[in-house]
Structure 1
Amino acid sequence: MNFSFKYLANRFQDFSVIWIRAFIHNESPIGKIINKATENEVHSIHFIEQDENENPNQISDLAQSQLREYFEGKRKNFHFPMNQSGSDFQKNVWLELQNIPLGHSISYAILAKRMQNPLAIRAICGS
């Protein structure tokens, strides 16, 4: 395993730099997933096509364990610190998505109406 620090990205809203200290990937029923974390919180969980060098820490291990339990049908809620970078609009979309019951889906148009912004369908799709 590679234990060096990894640079992830600039956060455009406040121009600060996020230093990711942990990478860990996991096979899932829907593809390979990687979670990236600092010492305090997970910053991203996304699909990957090829493996990256792993450098797990306590937070990334916790997220990986809970993701595995979710895909095994043993977990419905997640309890690990998360801080995903995004605009205020994107964060509002993500918060509203959490109100959709497990196993259900809604259209982007309905989501836009729930957010009291029916003309924002395309922006919501991009979030």
Structure 2
Amino acid sequence: MKAAVYAGRIESPFGPICLMGTDEGLTQVDFQHGDRPVHMTQSGRTAPGYFDQVIQQLHEYFEGTRQAFDLPLAPPGTAFQQRVWQALQQIPYGRTMTYQELAERLGKPTASRAVGSANGRNPIAIIIPCHRVIGRDGRLRGYAGGLHIKQQLLQHEGAWPR
């Protein structure tokens, strides 16, 4: 039997955000851009209780009263991507780190490009804070939500400009 997939959408100060998850946990938080359609799978069942927690914690983040998230996460990815995403969650609110520093933290000092690739494939924006990773030169580098959103998130956290 195929696992149920739940979907939702919330409004944020940075635009609409789409949420997806399974019974195990949240699998995707993504900014919706323009008229791009949102593909949502309906399971015919009520979303798990953690969905209410996701919405509440995101609203608290946007209001400036939450700096860390406590949610069940189930992002699909390779073992290396999972390690990178776990390390991203250790970057404190209001701080940034370079791709090189993140690679060194993982014990892979020559893997900054691989770390950047895993960072770019993070399916759970904001909650797994890939927006906190910047280039070695201190400049903003790629962000799936767009560099303007990355800059706004860092400004919201008081981490930009550096």
TM-score, reference length from structure 2: 0.60
Measured after TM superposition, the shift of residue 30 of structure 1 is 2.3
Aligned twin of 1:34: 18
Q: Is the 8 A contact 1:24 1:35 kept in 2?
A: yes
Report the Cα distance in structure 2 between the residues aligned to 1:54 and 1:111, rounded to whole angstroms. Answer: 35
Aligned match for 1:111, one of 84, 102, 107: 102
Q: Is the 8 A contact 1:43 1:83 kept in 2?
A: yes
1:91 aligns with 2:61: no
- Runs of 5+ unmatched residues, structure 1: 1-16
- Greater RCO, 1 or 2 (C-alpha within 8 Å, sep 6+): 2
Larger fraction in strand: 1
**Which deviations, in whole Å up to 9, do the C-alpha atoms of 1:35-91 show, x marking residues without a partner?**
112234211111112464696723322211211111111212222211111111011
Q: Is the 8 A contact 2:16 2:31 kept in 1?
A: yes
1:79 aligns with 2:62: no
Q: Is the 8 A contact 2:16 2:32 kept in 1?
A: yes
TM-score, reference length from structure 1: 0.74
Q: Is the 8 A contact 2:24 2:74 kept in 1?
A: no
Report the Cα distance in structure 2 between the residues aligned to 1:37 and 1:110, rounded to whole angstroms. Answer: 31
Measured after TM superposition, the shift of residue 105 of structure 1 is 0.2
Aligned twin of 2:59: 68
Greater shift, 27-36 or 108-117, is seen at 27-36
Identity %: 33
Aligned twin of 2:144: none
Q: 1:122 to 1:61 in 2, by over 3 A?
A: same
- Runs of 5+ unmatched residues, structure 2: 119-162
Q: Is the 8 A contact 2:18 2:32 kept in 1?
A: yes
AA of the residue aligned to 1:98: Q
Aligned match for 1:125, one of 97, 116, 138: 116
Length, aligned pairs only = 110
RMSD of Structure 2 on Structure 1 (CA): 2.2
AA of the residue aligned to 1:19: A
